[in-house]
A and B are shown apart, each in its own frame.
Chain A
Amino acid sequence: MRTAKAPERANVAPHSKGLNGLATSPNMNSHADSEVVTLPSATVDQRVKVIKFSHVSKRFMLHHERPRSFQEMVVSVFGLRTLSKQGVALPRPSTEEFWALRDVNFSIYAGEAVGIIGENGSGKSTSLKLISRIMEPTSGSVSVRGKVSALLELGSGFHPELTGTENIFLHGSLLGIKHKDMAARYDNIVDFAEIREFIDTPLKHYSSGMVMRLGFAVAINVDPSILVTDEVLAVGDEGFQRKCLEHIAELRRRGVTIVFVSHALEAVRSLCQRAIWLDKGVVMADGPAPEVLDLYLAFANEKHDDRLVRDQERSRSNGRIQGELDSATITVEPLYTPNETANGTSEPPALEPVRPIRITGVKFVNTEGEAVSAFRTGDPFVIRIDYKADHKVEDPTFGLALYSENGTHLNGPNTRFGGLNIPFVEGTGHVDYRIAELPLLAGRYDVTVAVTGPDMTEVYDHQHRKYGFSVQPTPGLPERWGMLYIPATWRFEPDDKEGLGISRQPSAVSNNPSQE
């Protein structure tokens, strides 16, 4: 049923060829100016639509100078211009349009768990606010069937002066729930939030964790048919997060539709079977979560690489920054004025502290010896650290550390532990750290490099997470989740072979599909 398409998915982009076709074309430039990538859904199409966005656009007016007073309103209504003291007409306050969503179309079906992903400002939160009816679209229509419960900033709707009980009933009635229905749920809520002994205390005496637990407990106990959540689960302690996620999963099993907005891609991956990727208010891809996440990751990596290149160019033109501000060229000179030599030319300013050895650059080198910034899992991979020593330094140690995008420290090798003895360095050169087959899965990684003295206490140079590379989604890879690809095999061996009806083959061994 993979190629079957729901009738309302008629706006499928011409180049969407199904899963395999997409997975092998991670070049996102083709999407930037193009249509929606609609991945065919693997699930059945005979479902009830509970949320439907048809041609939804949402415009925000960004008033740089907001008419917040009657004077300005009168001025703008009559098309007058504010006069300055000299009687010169000042420019009218400029109003800029910002389209948070542009012609967005999608439907969400009953019982689906859908993740909405995208960078900041891509329109994710606006979509949530449209679904929960906090805002109305500028054009197009949003139709929602069923009771929406929104987990946006847990507990923010509570009043600090009211007690827990009073807040529970007030919040229930905000969601349109009758007092007696709320009374029936009261015990569940109090138990889930684990605050029974404080329930008649004003909320201002609660800890923030208690307020959050109560907020979550109320939101999920009102029998929503659609649960909308923002980044709320990013806060709270580990135990509470797990409890919430378990409960959301439980609601999912009960058939509650879930719309989940998050930057935490792993949470989206584990919770949602479908994902919608928004970029600048446009749907870039919509389909099974793993595929959409991979497309998004590839896109984000590419963007990050562009930025890295720009940063490097900027740091190369070190020393003076020139910019045009209000048509005046401003030149920022270093505060330090170098000594002028006899013939009037100046020495470059010595802003850097004196380092016996400096790391002058880090390159990521592929098989062909080219410096690139994107790799695939299983590629040969070299981190090349360029150094410069102004005079002879004996017995240095070079080291590095790999970090994932979210800051997890992956490893921290150095030349000394690695058994490489460098007697001395003088002048320039490089040190290579070579990985035969890169075990990292798709994502962005940062690199810290350092050079120290022999006992690793004297730090000559240390550049924390200054460099980065990315790993692109690799077609044919048998792994997709987590950060590491560890080549391994699976083995299946039932104790009672007869009973399972396996007689011909005593055991089945899957060979790890190797990288051709």
Chain B
Amino acid sequence: MLARARQSLSYRDLLYNLVVRDLKLRYKHSALGFFWSLLNPILLMAVFTFVFTQLLPSDKTRPAFPIFFLSALLPWNWCASSVAGTLGSIVNNGHLINKVYFPREMLPLSVVLANMFNFALSIPALLLFMVFLRPNFNPTLLYLPVLILTQVLFLTGIGFFLSALNVFFRDTSVLVEVGLSAWFFLTPIIYDAQDVAGKYANVMYYLNPMASIIANYRDIFYYTDTSSPDPLFMLRTLITSTILCALGYLFFMRLSRSFGEEI
């Protein structure tokens, strides 16, 4: 397995090219190109802000709602587009799988990284909103790389499972479609993790690492309390994500042997 990993490392140019391909193709025929990475979440934020501050105002409405919402929406968008992208990453590249040998794990990994890049591009938008709405830059912002790493590991693990499963059972994609919208509501994006009723909060954190990750993002971008996020909590999420990624890798490797004949 170590030899395998070393081989993958020697294919890092491939990873780079796949990520570049992904990004180039995404904005190939659009006039605004890369600006969509910024525009898309801003438009969504405008909609949700209107709904939650104007249509459904309540005493629960957060101050500086756009920041509250964006700090969770941006990582969620990364998650959702990665899951959707990795799902088809093997099946849609059948023409490559059937013709050339290369480490297949590069395909889902490149999707996660391309979306990470997109996420990184949208961070400035969030920072800009913070400057105008509520200048509050905690030192906890320095945790950002750790959070990003955690999310990369988590999404890659999920990507390994889904992309390989989809080769053998095409219903995976239908299930994932439904699953993603359920997941959106089961993750504290439009509400706050602390508002989750009683014992369900812990259940949510245990079953949904994405909930932990997003809660952490919100901690560093939105909340002023510098004691959160709890480093131990972050470490636990990181470990969970690492284990998931390793299991996903093993699962993927096992199934990837017959990709060539199944596609």
Q: Does A425 make an interface contact (CB < 8 A)?
A: no
Which stretch from B16-24, B53-61, B209-217, B234-242 is at the chain A interface? Answer: B16-24
B100: which of A150, A161, A179 is its contact (CB, 8 Å)?
A150
Q: Does A157 make an interface contact (CB < 8 A)?
A: yes
**Least Cβ–Cβ distance between A391 and chain B, in angstroms:** 63
Q: Does B200 make an interface contact (CB < 8 A)?
A: no
B169: which of A69, A129, A159, A162 is its contact (CB, 8 Å)?
A69
The answer on a CB contact under 8 Å between A174 and B14 is yes
Residues from 206 to 254 in B contacting A, C-beta threshold 8 Å: none
A144 closest partner in B (C-beta):
B101
Q: Does B170 make an interface contact (CB < 8 A)?
A: yes
Q: How far is the CA of A60 from the CA of B262 in the complex (A)?
A: 10
Task: Report chain A residues within 8 Å CB of B98.
Answer: 134, 152
Q: Does A461 make an interface contact (CB < 8 A)?
A: no
Q: How far is the CA of A169 from the CA of B20 in the complex (A)?
A: 11
Q: How far is the CA of A156 from the CA of B96 in the complex (A)?
A: 8
Residues from 52 to 109 in B contacting A, C-beta threshold 8 Å: 95-102
Task: Report chain B residues within 8 Å CB of A174.
Answer: 14, 96, 100, 102
The answer on a CB contact under 8 Å between A176 and B21 is no
Q: How far is the CA of A177 from the CA of B102 in the complex (A)?
A: 11
Q: Does A410 make an interface contact (CB < 8 A)?
A: no
**Least Cβ–Cβ distance between B102 and chain A, in angstroms:** 5
Q: How far is the CA of A166 from the CA of B17 in the complex (A)?
A: 8
Task: Report chain A residues within 8 Å CB of B11.
Answer: 173, 176
Q: Does B182 make an interface contact (CB < 8 A)?
A: no
The answer on a CB contact under 8 Å between B99 and A159 is no
The answer on a CB contact under 8 Å between B17 and A73 is no
The answer on a CB contact under 8 Å between A73 and B169 is yes
The answer on a CB contact under 8 Å between A156 and B170 is no
The answer on a CB contact under 8 Å between B169 and A132 is no
Task: Report chain A residues within 8 Å CB of B13.
Answer: 172-173, 177-179
The answer on a CB contact under 8 Å between B169 and A68 is yes
Would you give the 0/1 interface string for A403-436, flagging 1 where the beta carbon is closer than 8 Å to chain B? Answer: 0000000000000000000000000000000000
**Least Cβ–Cβ distance between B250 and chain A, in angstroms:** 17
A166: which of B24, B95, B97, B170 is its contact (CB, 8 Å)?
B24
What number of A-B contacts does a CB cutoff of 8 Å give? 76
Task: Report chain A residues within 8 Å CB of B170.
Answer: 68-69
B93 closest partner in A (C-beta):
A157
Q: Does A170 make an interface contact (CB < 8 A)?
A: yes
The answer on a CB contact under 8 Å between B260 and A134 is yes
Task: Report chain B residues within 8 Å CB of A32.
Answer: none
Q: Does A305 make an interface contact (CB < 8 A)?
A: no
Which secondary structure dominates where chain B touches chain A?
A: helix
A157: which of B24, B96, B261 is its contact (CB, 8 Å)?
B96
Q: Does B134 make an interface contact (CB < 8 A)?
A: no
Given that A60-B261, A135-B261 are contacting pairs, would A176 and B102 also be in contact in the complex, using a CB cutoff of 8 Å? yes
Residues from 334 to 385 in A contacting B, C-beta threshold 8 Å: none
B28 closest partner in A (C-beta):
A161
Q: Does B30 make an interface contact (CB < 8 A)?
A: no
Q: How far is the CA of A159 from the CA of B20 in the complex (A)?
A: 13
B99: which of A60, A156, A169 is its contact (CB, 8 Å)?
A156
A170: which of B17, B28, B101, B175 is its contact (CB, 8 Å)?
B17
The answer on a CB contact under 8 Å between B24 and A150 is no
Q: How far is the CA of A353 from the CA of B257 in the complex (A)?
A: 59
The answer on a CB contact under 8 Å between A173 and B14 is yes
Task: Report chain A residues within 8 Å CB of B97.
Answer: 134
Q: How far is the CA of A415 from the CA of B196 in the complex (A)?
A: 99
Q: Does A395 make an interface contact (CB < 8 A)?
A: no
The answer on a CB contact under 8 Å between B101 and A134 is yes
Q: Does A136 make an interface contact (CB < 8 A)?
A: yes
A134 closest partner in B (C-beta):
B260
The answer on a CB contact under 8 Å between A150 and B99 is yes
Of B97, B99, B170, B258, most buried by chain A (CB within 10 Å of CB) is B99
Q: Does A148 make an interface contact (CB < 8 A)?
A: yes
Would you give the 0/1 interface string for A169-211, flagging 1 where the beta carbon is closer than 8 Å to chain B? Answer: 1111111111100000000000000000000000000000000
Task: Report chain B residues within 8 Å CB of A161.
Answer: 24-25, 28
Q: Does A70 make an interface contact (CB < 8 A)?
A: yes
**Least Cβ–Cβ distance between B169 and chain A, in angstroms:** 6
Q: How far is the CA of A159 from the CA of B101 in the complex (A)?
A: 17
Given pairs A69-B170, A157-B96, A176-B10, 12 additional interface contacts (CB within 8 A): A132-B101, A133-B101, A148-B101, A157-B95, A161-B25, A166-B21, A170-B17, A170-B18, A173-B14, A173-B17, A174-B100, A176-B102
Closest A-B pairs by Cβ, 10 of them: A133-B101, A173-B14, A135-B260, A134-B260, A173-B13, A173-B17, A170-B17, A136-B257, A174-B102, A69-B171
17 contacts between A and B (CB under 8 A): A70-B169, A70-B171, A70-B175, A129-B260, A132-B101, A133-B101, A136-B257, A136-B258, A161-B25, A161-B28, A166-B20, A166-B21, A169-B17, A173-B13, A174-B14, A176-B10, A178-B13
Residue ranges of A at the interface with B (Cβ–Cβ < 8 Å)? 60, 68-70, 73, 129, 132-136, 148, 150, 152-153, 156-157, 159, 161-162, 166, 169-179
